[in-house]
Amino acid sequence: MASSIAQALLHALADQLILLDPAGHVTQPSGLPLLESESFESRFSPEICRMFRNAQQWVNQTGQTQVVEYPVPGGHWQEASIHPVPDVPGHVVVLIKDIQRRKEAEIALLRFQEGLTTLNQISFAPELAAHQQIQQGLELMCRYFQLPYGLLVQRTSPVRLLNFSGPEGFVYPALPLVLPSPEPLGEVICQAKGVTVLQQVASPFQSTLLPPEQRVHCLAGMQIDVENQLFGYICFFDTAPYPRSFAPYDTEFMRIFARWLGFLLEQERQIARLQTSIQNKNRIMEIIAHDLRNPIGAVIGLGEFSLKVGQVDSASQLYQALSGMVSASKRANRLLEVMLNADQLESGKQTIHTLPMNLSHLLQQVLAEHAPAAAAKKIRLLQQAPEQAMAAIDIHWFSLALDNLLNNALKYTPAEGCISVELVPHDTVWELRVRDTGIGIPPEWHERIFEKFTTAKRPGLAHEVGTGLGLHLTRQIIQRHGGEICLDSQVDAGTCFYVHLPRLSQTP
C-alpha cells in the first residue's frame, strides 16, 4: 500500500524525484524508487549538478524552498523545486517537472509582446519621406522576425526593387532597382498569392542581390495592396541553412505591417496628386493673370476707342477696331477652351465615344475652318488623302486634336509658307502627317512639348501666346483613340507631326 501511494504521489507531483544528502549525493529511502546516484550524475551536466548543490546550500541555510529553471539536451526545459526535509538536517528533496509547454507559451507571449512593441514603433511620420519610413519599418521587422534581409518590390514588368534592408556591413544596391530577368528571388516573391507563410526553401537558390557564395534558404512574404489593387510584395529571407518557424500571430503582424505599407504608399500617391493639382491650379492662375490679360486688355481698349465715335475718322478705322476686338476675343476664348478641355478630359468629366468616321471628310472640314487664318498670313494649305479613310473616332475630340496641330503650324509658319496635311494608309493604321515650313523645334524640346504646362514653348511669329497645354491635350486625345503621335523637326527647317490611328476595314 505504501509503495502504491508513493508511486501515485511521484507521478502526480513530479516527473522525477531526487533526495540529496548534505554532501549533495543521491540517497535511496525505503519504499520509493528514486534516481540512482550514477544516473543523476550522468543525466545532468556538471553545470546543472552544481546548480542543484548551490541551491541545496541556500535551502539548508534559509530553510526556504527554491525553484530553478534550466534547459536540458534536446531543447526541452525543466523546473526543479528544491525543498528542505524537516527534522533531517542537510537533506533536500528535488522535484523535477517538464515545463516545455509552459515555456513555449511564455516565449510565445514574450514574442507577441515584442511584436506589438515593434508595430508601435512603426508609425506614420509626415516629416520623413515615404521610402525612409518604409526603410525604418523593414529594419524593425527584420529584427523582430530574426531574418537579416527585408525588401519591398513593386510588381511591374520587370519587377522593381524599391526598398532593401540587410545586415550590418551589407553593400546596398542603388534604389530603385529594376531586377534582372530571370531573378529567382523576384520570381519566387511574385508567384506568391496572398500570404506566404515562412517556408524553408526546398532547393536553396542564388540571388543577384547577394554575394555569389550565398543562397536563400528560407523566406516569408506578403502581398501589398494600394487603393484596392495589387502593388507588390514585402519579403524577409535568410541565407542560414538552419530550420525556422513562424507562429500564427507572426503572420498577423506581417499582415498589419503590409497594411501599414499600403496605407503609406497610398498616402504618397494622394500627396503627389495633390501637389500636381496645386501646381496645375497655380499654372492656370498664371495663365489667367498673364496670358489672358493681354487679349482682354486689347478688347477693352478697342471697345473704348469704338465708343468714342468722334475720334473715328472713317468706317475703315471702326472696322479695324472691331476686327481687333474679335481677334483678341478669339485668342482669349481659345486659351480658356484649351484649359477647360484638358481639365474635362483628364478629370473624367468628358470621355471619348468613338464611331466609324471618314477621316478624309473630317480633314476637309477642319482645313476649311483654318483657311481664313491661313489666307490672312499668306500661308498655303494643302491636303492629300484618299476618298475613304475609315477610323473609329470621337468627332469632337479628334477635331480638337487636329485643330491644335493646325493652330500650332499656323503659329510658327512665316508668311508665304506652306502647311500640308497628308493621310497615308498602312496595313493596320492610318498615318496622318501635318507638315509645315516653319521655324522648327529644337531637338531637346521634342518630348518636352507634350508635357502638361510645358515650358518648352515660345511666342508665335505674330506674338501669339500659348497655355503649354495644347500638344499635351492632343497627345492625350490621340492615345485615347488607340493611336500615337511623334514628330520630326529641325530648327529653321520646319516640323512634321505624325499621327498613327488604327484603321477600320469596313465602310459605313
Tell me the backbone φ, ψ of residue 471, rounded to 5 degrees. Answer: -75, -30
* Res 331: pLDDT: 61
The cell for 255 is 499582415
**Alpha-helical segments (H) within 348-444:** 359-376, 395-412
In the chain, how many domains are there?
Answer: 3
Structural domain span for residue 64 = 2-98
* Helix H or strand E segment including 313: none
Confidence category of residue 503, pLDDT binned at 50, 70, 90: very high
Domain identity same for 77 and 150: no
The cell for 158 is 520587370
* Res 390: pLDDT: 92
Domain CATH number, residue 462: 3.30.565.10
Domain identity same for 80 and 131: no
Domain identity same for 68 and 118: no
Say how far apart CA 172 and CA 152 lie, in whole Å. Answer: 14
Domain identity same for 49 and 193: no
Is-contact 444 465, C-beta < 8 A?
Answer: no
Domain identity same for 22 and 148: no
pLDDT digits (tens, 9 = 90+) for 133-167: 888 888 888 888 888 888 898 888 788 889 888 88
DSSP string covering 264-304, please? HHHHHHHHHHHHHHHHHHHHHHHIIIIITHHHHHHHHHHHH
Phi-psi map region of 39: left, alpha, beta (phi>0 left; psi -120 to 50 alpha): alpha
Which residues is 424 bridged to in the sheet? 431
Residue where a domain terminates, one of 211, 240, 270: 270
Domain identity same for 170 and 89: no
DSSP string covering 94-126, please? EEEEE-HHHHHHHHHHHHHHHHHHHHHH----T
Prior bond to 442 cis, omega within 30?
A: no
Residue 284 placed within a domain = no
Answer yes or no: is pLDDT of 17 > 50. Answer: yes
Q: What 3-state class would DSSP assign to 238?
A: strand
> By C-alpha distance, which of 332, 353, 345 is closest to 474?
345
Say how far apart CA 133 and CA 260 lie, in whole Å. Answer: 10
Which amino acid, residue 71?
P
Domain identity same for 252 and 113: yes
Domain identity same for 387 and 478: yes
Residue 484 placed within a domain = yes
pLDDT digits (tens, 9 = 90+) for 243-289: 776 777 777 888 888 888 888 888 888 888 888 778 777 766 666 65
Residue 436 placed within a domain = yes
Domain identity same for 60 and 149: no
Residue 139 placed within a domain = yes
Provide the CA 215 distance to its chain's centre, in angstroms.
27
DSSP string covering 30-45, please? TT--PPPHHHHHHHS-
Distances (CA, A) of 360 to 59, 372, 384, 423, 477: 107, 20, 9, 8, 18
Domain identity same for 217 and 121: yes
* Res 470: pLDDT: 79
Angle subtended by helix axes 315-347 and 293-307, to nearest 10: 150
Residue 361 placed within a domain = yes
What would you measure as the largest C-alpha separation in the chain, in angstroms?
142
> By C-alpha distance, which of 479, 507, 450 is closest to 352?
479
Task: Report which DSSP code applies to 6.
Answer: H
Domain CATH number, residue 27: 3.30.450.20
* Res 1: pLDDT: 47
> By C-alpha distance, which of 182, 265, 183 is closest to 223?
265
The cell for 268 is 504618397
Residue 160 placed within a domain = yes
Domain CATH number, residue 188: 3.30.450.40
Provide the CA 505 distance to its chain's centre, in angstroms.
41
Higher pLDDT, residue 306 or 103: 103
Higher pLDDT, residue 117 or 502: 502
In sequence order, what are the residues at sequence separation of 6 or more whose Cβ sits closer than 8 angstroms to the Cβ of residue 17? 10, 32, 34, 35, 93, 94, 95, 96
* Helix H or strand E segment including 312: none
Say how far apart CA 140 and CA 254 lie, in whole Å. Answer: 12
Phi-psi map region of 263: left, alpha, beta (phi>0 left; psi -120 to 50 alpha): alpha
Answer yes or no: is pLDDT of 190 > 80. Answer: no
Domain identity same for 45 and 147: no
Residue 282 placed within a domain = no
Residue 345 placed within a domain = no
Residue where a domain terminates, one of 98, 132, 147: 98
Residue with cell 511584436: 115
Prior bond to 295 cis, omega within 30?
A: no
Residue where a domain terminates, one of 270, 295, 311: 270
* Helix H or strand E segment including 146: none
Question: 77-92 burial string, b = 16+ CB within 10 Å, else e?
Answer: bbbbbbebbeeeeebb
Answer yes or no: is pLDDT of 379 > 50. Answer: yes
Domain identity same for 78 and 191: no
Say how far apart CA 51 and CA 38 lie, in whole Å. Answer: 17
Classify residue 62 as exposed, middle or buried by CB count within 10 Å of its CB (0-12, 13-18, 19+): exposed
Q: Report CA Rg, the chain.
A: 41
Confidence category of residue 12, pLDDT binned at 50, 70, 90: very low
pLDDT digits (tens, 9 = 90+) for 430-487: 999 999 998 898 888 888 888 877 766 666 666 565 666 778 888 988 998 999 999 9
Q: Are strands 216-226 and 229-238 parallel, antiparallel or unpaired?
A: antiparallel
pLDDT digits (tens, 9 = 90+) for 22-46: 877 777 654 445 555 555 666 677 8
Model confidence, pTM:
0.50
